[in-house]
Structure 1
């Protein structure tokens, strides 16, 4: 019996150590990298559409924080709609860049479509959200987000301690992978500030 108690105490200590200081913000994070954003090289119409997509993404993250699968599905559908509506075809950029942007938006939309069709549980939605977050981060690095700041945040304990990233519009940690279980577990690893 004492062995089980010791193991439980060690596991609890590991959880506490992995999360370090709950609620730690970007200003307190020594490992944070700040990345200067790309200049606003795409059309205002594109950036307006991308801001709508990001708003839907943040709603999806918030729904997962609350473990609300119905709200997550609504936000995922809105995000997919906004990504499908990005005016990439009308951009005046070279065909290679246009292809990269179309491919990125299409990959994210396909992952969201899978989330909506398969109707797995909360964990399945969180797994899809992880992939969407990684792909959306890559898209933002290629496009920028005119006048916006995006915080890339990381939870080291998600998915069996493999870790997972997500994006936020503020530095406060609200963990979409654990919700109330470990709401403030994580840290800001990158800040994208766009002019």
Structure 2
């Protein structure tokens, strides 16, 4: 084959390969969106999920108190959340010991952060502690599920001098616990976990 014939054929093959890769990427993105919209499994003991749902209700109360900048109500909600996290029946989770150890460690870390919550003298300090609890609680829910519930993982890019911070909600609307009335609807939902 001469050089004049090879160049056009080579160019055609390169273009066909790039087009095929681009179409494959589009198909994969479409599949990921479908999977993300499907309900996830929550396969563990219902007693655990009832207990975790009670803990989540206390978490949502804590978030609501921070939205209102009510430090007294936040302290009460944090104490309730600590009580519920401490009483989670982790032993009912039928999983391997390594995974169970991770869950136990996470609940212990949440409890420790909540124990120190009332000692945070400022609203800003309480919001920082809330951020840490939110991250750990999200990890816990992702590892165990929350039967019959939907969790919205929400994000404010401006929190803590534009470092950004996440929180959890049981509603899709934004009520920002890091700014409250100052920027109540600042934020977006980054992830949605729906459990069967």
Q: Residue 121 in 1 paired to residue 122 in 2?
A: yes
Q: Tell me which residue corresponds to 2:135.
A: 134
Q: Tell me which residue corresponds to 1:43.
A: 45
CA distance in 2, matches of 1:76, 1:180: 21
Listed as ranges, the gaps of 5+ residues in structure 2 are: 1-34
Secondary structure of 1:176 counterpart: coil
Checking the alignment, whether the CA contact within 8 Å between 2:40 and 2:193 is kept in structure 1 is no
CA distance in 2, matches of 1:132, 1:35: 26
Q: CA RMSD in A?
A: 1.4
Secondary structure of 2:109 counterpart: helix
Number of equivalences: 162
Give CA-to-partner distance per residue, 1:57-76, whole Å, 9 cap, x none.
Answer: 00000000000001000100
Secondary structure of 1:154 counterpart: strand
Q: Tell me which residue corresponds to 1:19.
A: none
Question: How do residues 25-104 of structure 1 correspond to structure 2 at under 5 angstroms?
Answer: 34=36, 36=38, 38-104=40-106
CA distance in 1, matches of 2:106, 2:37: 20
Checking the alignment, whether the CA contact within 8 Å between 2:93 and 2:100 is kept in structure 1 is yes
Checking the alignment, whether the CA contact within 8 Å between 1:156 and 1:164 is kept in structure 2 is yes
Q: CA deviation at 1:38?
A: 4.0
Checking the alignment, whether the CA contact within 8 Å between 1:46 and 1:87 is kept in structure 2 is yes
Give CA-to-partner distance per residue, 1:79-108, whole Å, 9 cap, x none.
Answer: 100000000123332211211110111111
CA distance in 2, matches of 1:162, 1:129: 15
Secondary structure of 2:116 counterpart: helix
Higher-Rg member (1/2)? 2
- Give the structure, 1 or 2, with the largest relative contact order (CA under 8 Å, sep 6 or more): 1
Task: Give the structure with the larger helix fraction.
Answer: 2
TM-score, normalized by length of structure 2?
A: 0.79
Residue among 111, 114, 131 paired with 2:113: 111
Secondary structure of 1:93 counterpart: coil
Checking the alignment, whether the CA contact within 8 Å between 2:149 and 2:194 is kept in structure 1 is yes
Give CA-to-partner distance per residue, 1:150-186, whole Å, 9 cap, x none.
Answer: 0011101000000000000001100000000000000
Q: Residue 179 in 1 paired to residue 187 in 2?
A: no
